[in-house]
Chains A and B, each alone.
Chain A
Amino acid sequence: MDRILTESGIRIAEDAGSFIEDESERLSYTQLDARVRKLIATWAGQNWAGGGSTVALPMTNNIAGITAFIALLRNGVSIALLPADDTGSRPQFCSAVLDPTTMAVALNESGPQLASSEREPCVYLKTSGSTGTPKWVVFGQEQLVGNADGVRDRMRIDQQDCVLVSTPLPHMFGLGGGLLPALLAGASVKVTKSGDPLSILKAEREADPTVAFLIPSQCRALLPLRRSARQYRVIIVGVGRLSPEFMEAFEKMNGTVAGMYGSTELGAAVGAHPGAGSDRRYQYIGPAMKSVRVFVEADQSDGAGRSIGPVFIEHVAGYLGYANMAGELIAAAPDRQPMGDLGALNEFGDLDIVGRVDDRIKRDGFWVLTKDIEACLSDAEGVAEAAVISTGMTRRGAGIVAYVVSQAGAAFEATRLLQVCKKNLPGHMVPDEILELQSFKRLASGKIDLQALTEHAEERLRETESDK
Chain B
Amino acid sequence: MNDPEFDILRSLVVRAFRSDVAREQITPDLTLFGGGLELDSFALVDLVMGIEKEFGVKFCEEDFTIENFANIRAISALIERSRSEN
Contacts and interface: CB of A to CB of B under 8 A. Distances in A.
B22 interface: no
Contacts of B42: 217, 220-221, 384
Contacts of A411: none
Contacts of A217: 41-42
A438 B50 CA distance: 18
Chain A, interface size category, equals: 20 to 34
Given A198-B66, A408-B16, A218 B48 contact: no
Contacts of A220: 42
A224 interface: yes
Interface in A323-380: none
B65 A408 contact: no
Given A218-B41, A221-B44, A408-B50, A201 B15 contact: no
A405 B17 CA distance: 12
B19 to A, nearest CB: 6
Given A196-B40, A197-B64, A409 B48 contact: no
Interface in B40-74: 40-42, 44-46, 48-50, 59-62, 64-66, 69
A202 interface: yes
A205 B65 CA distance: 11
A138 B47 CA distance: 42
Contacts of B18: 405, 408, 438-439
B33 interface: yes
A202 B16 CA distance: 22
Contact of B46 (A201, A205, A408): A408
Interface in A399-424: 405, 408-409
B66 A202 contact: yes
Interface stretch (A28-36, A117-125, A225-233): A225-233
15 contacts: A196-B41, A198-B65, A198-B69, A201-B61, A201-B65, A205-B62, A217-B42, A221-B45, A224-B49, A225-B45, A384-B42, A408-B16, A408-B18, A408-B49, A439-B40
Given A220-B42, A225-B44, 14 more contacts: A195-B41, A198-B33, A198-B65, A199-B66, A201-B64, A205-B62, A217-B42, A224-B45, A227-B59, A227-B60, A384-B42, A408-B16, A408-B50, A438-B18
